[in-house]
Amino acid sequence: MSSLLEIKNLGKSYDDKVVLKNISFNVPSGSIVGFIGDNGAGKSTTFKIVLGLVSKDAGTVKIFGEENINKHPKIKEKIGVVFDAANLPAHLTIKQLNKVFNKMFDSWDQDNFNRLILSFSLPIDKKVDKFSRGMSMKLSVAVALSHNAKLLLLDEATGGLDSSSREEMLYELKNFASKGNGGILLSSHIMSDIEKIASHLVIIKEGEILLNEEKDQVFENYAIVDIDEKTLNSLNQDIVVAKRNRDSYYNVLVSDKQKLPNEIVTKPISMEEISLLLTRSNE
């Protein structure tokens, strides 16, 4: 499986503050990579570096095998972008935007755009500045999915949506990745969304990658256990991914439950628990 986006040893600092610490991960063709972390973890900086909006201090970023996309305008058309704050012309209606994008993009798919606008129940004659946050997100995603992009960069794209609208959008995103061998880097604080559609998980904390695995492998092999300090110290430390001191016991994430002693009881894991334990861990 080839990678649409390859990030290797990426580093970035602002003055004395290190924002990214040699992070590496890929977005393979046909995949949806859930990019997870608290505010300030480095997700938005990563997105901006990938898009050439911010310079990097170290490492490489390749999109479709090419570095420095600012030198390759045709590559940019193959990237669909949705940020938390919508960046569409506020004074235009959807009907007017359709005409603008038809001229802007060589590969503008008007039929698909109209289908998505109808599916997302968006008004075509209402100015964008009158849209709610959720409506703006739906419009941004409709645009990103309508110019034959191969890579989508989505930063909190499901924010502000009700559950049924999120379900509809997740269906469209999953269909995009599976149908045309596209790839998606999806940042979201809604762990249920990540759990539903992500094929890969990348969890970042304070500029460092804590987890970079296929989701199915994580749910098949990883486990969370509640154990005392003595039991924790007796474990094979190679399988201890994260631990959290809960006063009378430790909450521990292990990478291979088969290597746990038989007497230790594991708990069913969820995306929410994995994320919380990794981002709030004591190590």
Going from N- to C-terminal start, the domains of the chain cover 3-213, 222-279
How far is the C-alpha of 38 from the C-alpha of 18, rounded, in Å? 16
pLDDT digits (tens, 9 = 90+) for 135-160: 999 999 999 999 989 999 999 888 77
Per-residue confidence (pLDDT) for residue 180, from 0 to 100? 66
**Which amino acid would we find at residue 180?**
G
Q: What is the pLDDT of residues 33-50, one digit of tens each?
A: 999 999 899 999 999 999
Q: What is the pLDDT of residue 178?
A: 87
Q: Are 120 and 107 in contact (CB under 8 A)?
A: no
Backbone angles phi, psi at 43, to 5 degrees: -65, -50
Percent with pLDDT over 70 in the chain: 98
Mean pLDDT of the region 199-220:
96
Q: How far is Cα 247 from Cα 232, in angstroms, rounded to an integer? A: 14
Burial of 31 (0-12, 13-18, 19+ CB in 10 A): buried
Q: Please count the other Cβ atoms lying within 10 Å of the Cβ belonging to residue 54.
A: 15
Query: What pLDDT, on a 0 to 100 scale, did the predictor assign at position 89?
Result: 84
* pLDDT value, residue 85: 63
CA 141 to chain centre: 14
In order of 31, 58, 139, 220, 244, the CA distances from 175 in angstroms are 11, 35, 17, 24, 37
The neighbouring-strand residues paired with 11 are 58
Tell me, what DSSP letter sits at residue 266? P
Please give the model's pTM, rounded to 2 decimal places. Answer: 0.93
What number is the average pLDDT over the span 17-30? 96
% of the chain with per-residue pLDDT over 90 = 75
**Contact between residue 11 and residue 22 where contact means Cβ atoms under 8 Å apart:** yes
pLDDT computed for residue 24 by the predictor = 98
| Beta-ladder partners of 225 | 252
Asked if 98 and 62 touch (Cβ cutoff 8 Å), the reply is no
Mean pLDDT of 220-231: 95
- H/E stretch holding 61 reads strand 58-63
Residue 72: predicted pLDDT: 72
Separation CA 48–CA 45 (nearest Å): 5
**Predicted pLDDT at 87:** 74
Find where tokens 């499986």 sit.
1
In the predicted model, what is the mean pLDDT of residues 207-223?
A: 96
Q: What is the pLDDT of residue 156?
A: 87
Q: Report pLDDT for 149.
A: 92
Q: What is the pLDDT at residue 71?
A: 73
Q: Which one-letter amino acid corresponds to residue 62? A: K
Residue 235 backbone phi and psi in degrees, to 5: -70, 155
pLDDT at 283: 57
CATH tag, 3-213: 3.40.50.300
- Average pLDDT rounded to a whole number, residues 184-204: 95
The tens digit of pLDDT for each residue in 66-104 reads 887 777 777 888 999 998 766 788 899 999 999 999 998
